[in-house]
Amino acid sequence: MDTTKREFPGKVTGMQTAILYILISVLFSTVGQLLLKGGMNSMGEVTLSFGQFFQTLWRMIINPGVFFGLFIYGVGTIFWLAALSRAELSYAYPFASLSYVIMLAASWMMFDEKITLARIIGTVLICIGVLVIYRN
């Protein structure tokens, strides 16, 4: 009796599911980071001093951008863990760097951050690296 696993056309494989989980994780993590940045921008510069640590921490926790940013980032982490259950870390981890691409554009559009040529070249190189890993 043949007990080998057969792939059927149109059926999603374990690795395809892992890649889907990774991409969902990247999306949620990126949105979470953007919310965190927006929340921290609304607070202004923060200094973590011993005497004011808990007061500062409380201000962060009750800030809606920080609160929801952490929540959404946490959802991304759940998808990341599911992806790790299906794929090798050395395969999955480079895909997480796709968030750099999204973050580069989003930080420019949302926070008016300056995008240098070096950042663009670095991001393109990251994309090439992810493509090389994906194709292998």
Dist CA 34 CA 37 (whole Å): 5
Q: pLDDT, tens digit, for every residue of 20-50?
A: 999 999 999 999 999 999 999 999 999 888 8
Q: For residue 3, what pLDDT band results from cuts at 50, 70 and 90?
A: very low
Let me know if residue 2 belongs to a domain: no
Does 71 map to a domain?
A: yes
In a domain, 101, yes or no: yes
Q: Would residue 7 count as lying in a domain?
A: no
Q: What domain count does the chain have?
A: 1
Q: Which domain holds residue 33?
A: 14-135
9 within some domain: no
Query: What pLDDT, on a 0 to 100 scale, did the predictor assign at position 20?
Result: 94
The answer to whether residues 94 and 101 touch, using CB atoms and an 8 Å cutoff, is: no
| CA-to-CA dists, residue 107 to 34, 113, 119, angstroms | 8, 6, 12
d(CA 124, CA 132): 12
Evaluate whether residue 5 is within a structural domain. Answer: no
Does residue 42 form part of some domain?
yes
Q: Considering only residues 59 and 100, tell me which one the structure prediction assigns the higher pLDDT.
A: 59
Q: How far apart are CA 97 and CA 86, in angstroms?
A: 18
| pLDDT at residue 92 greater than cutoff 60 | yes
Q: Look at residue 120 and tell me if it is in a domain.
A: yes
Give yes or no for a contact between 70 and 30, defined as CB atoms under 8 angstroms apart: no
